[in-house]
Amino acid sequence: MKISEAVIAKIKKLCDERKITINKLASSCGITQSTLENIVGGHSRNPKLLTIVRICDGLNITLHDFFNDPVFRHVERDD
């Protein structure tokens, strides 16, 4: 699995666990809905770390919580 695919899977998993939509997550993170939809839709393969930090802030989790997931154990680089 590519890194970008793992990020997408983790965001979707977190939204499912919290029963929130991508739109609601974008609102709580202070990022635009289009930015988050581009990430989750696979159009933005390399989201900035700051964007992931904002997602974590909106979900009240740490970067460690975000990346401490089996989905990130065996990822391949996107480049």
Q: Give the per-residue pLDDT at 33.
A: 94
Domains along the sequence of the chain with CATH: 3-72 (1.10.260.40)
Mean pLDDT in runs of 10 for the chain (79 residues)?
A: 94 96 95 94 90 96 96 87
C-alpha 58/C-alpha 26 separation (Å) is 8
Is 28:59 a contact under the CB 8 Å cutoff? yes
Q: Give the per-residue pLDDT at 68.
A: 96
Q: What tokens were used for 56?
A: 């974590």
